[in-house]
Amino acid sequence: MTGTQDFDGLSALVTGGASGIGAAVATLLLARGARVAVLDLDPGGAPRGTLALAADVTDDDAVRDAVDRAAAELGGLHTLVSNAGIGSIGTVEDNSDEEWNRVLDVNVLGMVRTARHALPHLRGAAAGRPGAVSITQTCSIAATAGLPQRALYSASKGAVLSLTLAMAADHVREGIRVNCVNPGTADTPWIGRLLGRAEDPAAERAALDARQPMGRLVSADEVAAAVAYLASPAAASVTGTALAVDGGMQGL
């Protein structure tokens, strides 16, 4: 394998790592020398060379078992990438309480549960690899920009952003860095499903592209590169940061 091996000797767990952004992250960390486990509802698509673990982030026992198994089989845990998430479309008038609870359970509590069970392992690793132990959460530009028809999804990602900042404060003295990435609309199977449900998929795709100042969607690999930076030893001084990878959607 050519290229930087800055994750050599490090173990990583990527939730939602069997598709889209998570799969791109798992592939990149593997290429950069990490041992990688994937926790996913449907782990069939986990990249080759990763330890694929089936778990639902809404099931606390299943998350604990998967995290413990990843740490046992990979030799500790240095890098948690908490990425599993689901979408929801609509205004506050459209979504029922059940839908709010379902999405918040995955997008917010899923990250809480994963962190809860990963932290003892991360803490154990922090002394041995200062600067290299971290949690990176996949948030969204929806946390900081007002997007139409995304009330519930945006609120869930707003919670992820605040959670990231609070966790960064809680664990900074333990040598555990906590950051998030805020992707703009990213070209993943998620968007494929969205377009599949649209009345006119080509027009919907053109509208998504047009919403980006760069006129194109962000790629999963571009988001993965940002996650890998935040998790890498090069970001040893970076914590409590939200890194936008959004084609200029927020700033321009």
Q: Which of these ranges, 69-77, 92-100, 167-175, 188-196, lies near ligand NAI under the rule CB under 6 A?
A: 188-196
CA 93 from chain centre, in angstroms, equals 28
| Given 104, 109, 191, 225, the residue binding ligand NAI (CB under 6 A) | 191
Q: Is 229 a catalytic residue?
A: no
209 lies in the site for ligand NAI, by CB under 6 A: no
21 binds ligand NAI (CB under 6 A): yes
Q: Does 22 bind ligand NAI (CB under 6 A)?
A: yes
Closest CA to 64 of 47, 87, 89, 39: 39
To ligand NAI, the closest distance from the beta carbon of 235 in angstroms equals: 19
Residue 69: CB minimum distance to ligand NAI, A: 15
Residue 57 makes contact with ligand NAI by CB under 6 A? yes
Tell me which residue has tokens 């003295």: 173
Catalytically annotated residue among 23, 51, 136, 153:
153
Q: DSSP letter for 147, please.
A: -
**Contact with ligand NAI (CB under 6 A) among 40, 67, 132, 244:** 40
Answer yes or no whether residue 6 interacts with ligand NAI by CB under 6 A: no
Token readout for 104 is: 């918040």
Cα–Cα distance, 106 to 128 (Å, whole number): 32
Q: Residues 129-148: x/- map of binding to ligand NAI (CB under 6 A)?
A: ---------x-x--------
DSSP structural state of residue 150: B
Query: Cα-flanking dihedrals φ and ψ of residue 187, to 5°?
Result: -80, 90
Query: Which is nearest to 122 in space by CA: 169, 71, 162, 72?
Result: 71
Q: Which is nearer to ligand NAI, 156 or 232 (CB)?
A: 156
Tell the smallest beta-carbon distance from residue 5 to ligand NAI (Å).
25
- Choices 15-23, 115-123, 127-135, 171-179 (CB under 6 A): range interacting with ligand NAI: 15-23
Per-residue burial over 194-212, b = 16 or more CB atoms within 10 Å of its CB, e = otherwise: beeeeeeeeebbeebeeeb
CA distances from 154 to 134, 139, 158, 236 (A): 24, 10, 6, 29
| Footprint on this chain of ligand NAI (rule: CB under 6 A) | 16, 18-22, 40-42, 56-58, 83-86, 106, 110, 138, 140, 183, 185-186, 188-191
Question: Catalytic site residues?
Answer: 153
